[in-house]
Structure 1
Amino acid sequence: MMRFRTGAAGPADLAALKRWSETSPAHLEAYDRMSRAWIALGAVAEELSSANSVARYARTAPSAASPGEAAVTRRALIGGALAASVAGVALSVHPPFGFWPSWSEFAADYRTATGEQRQITIDDIGIDMNTRTSIALRPAAGVVRRIELIAGEAALSSPAEDVLTVEAGNGRVVAAGARFNLRHDGGQVRVACLDGDVRVECGGDARVLGPGRQVLYSEHGVGQAVAVDTNAVTAWQGGLVIFRSTPISDVVEEINRYRPGRVILTNKDLGRRQLSARFRIAEMDQVVGQIEQVFGVRATMLPGGIVLLG
């Protein structure tokens, strides 16, 4: 668990965890107990999100806590434990902070770790996988190829002679002789057509996208197609992230995709401010420093890669 939390885990660690969990029901129980512990820590993080709590935690080692401060910590831990008691098996679907893979991601045939990118080819289908991406191969018939994007982001190229179906969330993308970028996170799926035409299907609704068009779908259905800058969409393939008048709340979510640990936004007003910049993915920690300088805020560093920003 510690290796997954710090981002040091690789494919071998994932395979080992999967084998370990399948050898005994007690192991699965242990996994859920560990998840409950991290839910409790999540409550502590929420407690730290208040201005008074942040002020108590400087970059230097904290002094001995007063009885009042200790009581706050106990309340946070008790609240976290209560939340964990009702979370149940949902923990295996949504691990706290996304520190380790969900059980659905264990079904992946290909997976990238935090900050890792990978290129693969499956039956002449070219796939560029971005950070924290899980892909599974699904049974198909004839010239149809089926892939599931369980989580993460990928750019795919389908040969003209075959029909490629990519399932993601509660919908799917059908393409032949096309290139497209697919991102699945937070219950939403974003499809951007880069070349050729792709068909997006979800809940009985469908959209056909041409080059430079993008659509978002979720459990609520398929949105309207909009124009998109394909260079910005695929910038990650060149090792870049591009922010254009992007709310800081969205910037923080993007940072968290590429670095181990977690940046937690503690200032809602800051979350509504906007940032325009470009950064190298290998230097994502610089984004936090840039936000500090531009908006006059402070980042508080905690163990385990946790950063409180506000």
Structure 2
Amino acid sequence: MPAADQAAAGKQARAWAIKLKTGQPTTEDVAAFRRWRAQSALHAQAWAQASQDWKTLGAMAQVFEERHPQRMARPPRQQTTRRFFLGAAASAFGTLAVVGVIRPPAGLWPSWSELGADYRTATGEQRDIQLAHRVQVSLNTQTSISLLHTGGTPRIALIAGEAAVSARHSPCEVLAEDARIVMTHGAVDVRRLATGQVRLRCTEGAAQLHHPSRTVALAARQQISYSRGQLGELGAITPDDAGWRQGVVVFDNLRLVDAIAEINRYRSGRVVLLNDALANRRFSANFKIDALNDAIELLRVVHNVNVRRVGDFVFLS
């Protein structure tokens, strides 16, 4: 791919990011953006990279904010807040004052990178989508996907969250990070983790993972994790690994901090751990997605945790 084409697509992606996030996009704007993104894999990758750049900036901004709170100046009046943040965002993918725009506080609303999604689920929501005659997608909670069609083959870009994709004698591709998952007859579960890794599980049939380092063939009941720079080893999956498809959240000897993160994926509001000394304690249990308040109660009993509730917020100490 010519470098000039890549540079042009990247510039266009950044322009779309600024327009969609810092302006007041109309329905026509969103439709035009989707047409632009669907032109080619290059355009889709440019958008994914722009999203990743802002995500990285968000992490940098968080560190900066924590280390230099006095320098994170805020506008003096409420009516100037929006203008302050939007101006910071548009100025360049560059200023650290855009924390509130690109990193939603406590994850209470979707990040801006999910704005271009064709389908999105809210916290606790799950959704089934029939893409083509023999291609079906199930979205787990807090999941966003975009759809591309190249030569008649459905291509699903996983922006955030977790999706199960099945193909029945019909070609299909899933894009996550900088890798492609290809199937003709099989089913996979793909999840983007908060660590930046992607976890791929082949639940039926077969799939191929095309990673920059190499291509890996997965058979049914095999899994692998990868990131931009690393590719893990093949391993086996267990029946409990797909609990969400049956409406169950499985806590399998998770650290408390990870168990809380899992609760926050499915439960509205927020559970916040205030005592770092509890973070590495272990928790095992199975709960229905609509019964996660019972999981919080079990945490209280098993680990002698103090629980304080403020609306949908729960503070553990």
Q: Report the TM-score when normalising by structure 2.
A: 0.69
The equivalent of 1:49 in structure 2 is none
Residue deviations 1:2-42 (CA, integer Å, cap 9, x gap): xxxxxxxxxxxxxxx9898315xxxxxxxxxxxxxxx9xx9
Aligned-partner Cα distance in 2 for 1:18–1:279: 37
Q: In the alignment, is the contact (CA less than 8 A) between 1:203 and 1:221 conserved in 2?
A: no
Change (3 A) 1:81 1:116: farther
Q: Residues 91 and 210 from structure 1, CA distance in 2 versus in 1: closer, same or farther, beyond 3 angstroms?
A: farther
1:199-236 C-alpha deviation (Å, 9 max, x unpaired): 1222232321111111111123211111111x212211
Aligned counterpart, 2:109:
100
Cα distance, 1:218–1:128 mapped onto 2, change above 3 Å: same
Gap runs ≥5 in structure 2: 1-19, 27-58, 75-84, 89-94
Matching residue's letter, 2:117: A
**How far 1:288 sits from its partner (Å)?**
1.3
- AA aligned opposite 2:167: S
The size of the alignment, in residue pairs, is 242
Q: Structure 2 CA distance, aligned partners of 1:213 and 1:296? A: 38
2:302 is the counterpart of 1:309: no
1:195 corresponding residue in structure 2: 204
RMSD: 2.9
Partner Cα separation in structure 1 for residue 148 and residue 180 of structure 2: 13
| 8 Å Cα contact 2:131-2:154 kept in structure 1 | no
Q: Provide the C-alpha distance between the structure 2 equivalents of 1:163 and 1:268, rounded to a whole number of angstroms.
A: 47
Q: SS in structure 2 opposite 1:257?
A: helix
CA deviation after TM superposition for structure 1 residue 145, in Å: 1.9
1:206 aligns with 2:209: no
Distance in 1 of aligned mates of 2:299 and 2:165: 33
Query: Following superposition of structure 1 onto structure 2, how do residues 20-31 of structure 1 map, counting pairs within 5 Å?
Result: 21-22=24-25
The equivalent residue for 1:154 is 163
> Residue type matched to 1:112 in 2?
T
> Post-superposition, which runs of at least 4 consecutive aligned residues in structure 1 deviate over 6 A?
17-20
Partner amino acid for 2:121? T
Superposed counterparts of 1:1-310, under 5 Å: 21-22=24-25, 78=70, 87-89=96-98, 91-123=100-132, 124-142=134-152, 144-160=153-169, 162-186=170-194, 187-229=196-238, 231-303=239-311, 305-310=312-317
The residue aligned with 2:45 is: none
Are the equivalent residues in 2 in contact too, given 1:181–1:233 (CA < 8 A)? no
**Percent of pairs with identical residues:** 36
Q: In the aligned structure 2, how far is the partner of 1:277 from the partner of 1:80?
A: 41
CA change 1:141–1:92 in 2 (3 A) is farther
Q: Give the Cα–Cα distance (whole angstroms) in 2 for the partners of residues 135 and 19 of structure 1.
A: 22
CA contact (8 A) 2:254 2:283 kept: yes
Contact 2:72 2:97 in 1 (8 A): no
CA shift digits 1:125-149 (9 cap, x unpaired):
111111111111113114x221111
Question: Relative contact order: is structure 1 or structure 2 higher (C-alpha 8 Å, sep ≥ 6)?
Answer: 1
> Cα–Cα, structure 1 residues 176 and 227, in superposed 2: closer, same or farther, change >3 Å?
same
State the secondary structure of the residue aligned to 2:115: helix
**3-state DSSP of counterpart to 1:249:** helix
Q: Shift in Å at residue 91 of structure 1?
A: 4.8
Contact 1:196 1:210 in 2 (8 A): yes
- Residue 120 of structure 1 and its aligned partner are, at CA, apart by 0.9
